[in-house]
Amino acid sequence: MKKIVIAILLMAGSVVTQAQTKDYTRDVQSVDAIMHALYDVISGDPGVARDWDRFRFLFKSDARLIPSRKDDKGNFELRAISPEEYVHLFSSRISSGFFERELSRKEDAYGTVVHVFSTYETKEKNDGPVTNRGINSIQLFKDQHRYYIVNIFWCAESLGFPLPDKYLK
């Protein structure tokens, strides 16, 4: 009887582990796929957990996210953070809904390097008013099997830089 109980527990644990392991490989097969996954994974209603494992899967291990911001004196500055630090900051600061979608994109590629200039807008509700816009400068690494995000460096209109028309087309 004891062996049967142990076998059932091991099988149940295996099923739970398999259910928790998701396949995110489709998210990294093309520039379109990784860009869609990036915007999709951070967007959602308040109280809805984001799939942070999916988010982490998009990035190379030493990747950086670099927001432009103003300090207390109005000076521009940067703060480079890891994807894991972004997860913690995002989770602690966004109590309302957050939806970010791509408005337009310009990309250049050479060999293993892809640069994406992605114009975005943010909202607190998917169908709500736009709360901010800006540009994400995203560097991707293309290996033989997939794309990885290496860096995301962004600037929002709220810093005082209206988006030029050429980045809205």
pTM of this structure: 0.85
Our count of domains for the chain comes to: 1
d(CA 29, CA 6): 40
The CATH number given to whatever domain includes residue 55 is 3.10.450.50
Give the tokens for residue 131. Answer: 């709360």
Q: So what's the pLDDT on residue 91?
A: 80
Q: Beta strands of 31-129 (E only): which ranges?
A: 59-70, 76-78, 99-110, 113-123
Domain range enclosing 136: 24-167
Residue 8 lies in a domain: no
Cα(58)–Cα(12) distance, integer angstroms: 30
3 within domain boundaries? no
* Structure confidence by residue, pLDDT tens digits, 70-85: 999 999 999 999 999 9
What SS3 class is residue 148?
A: strand
pLDDT classification of 7: cutoffs 50, 70, 90 = very low
| Helix, strand, coil content of the chain in percent (nearest 5) | 35, 40, 30
Contact 114, 105 (CB under 8 A): no
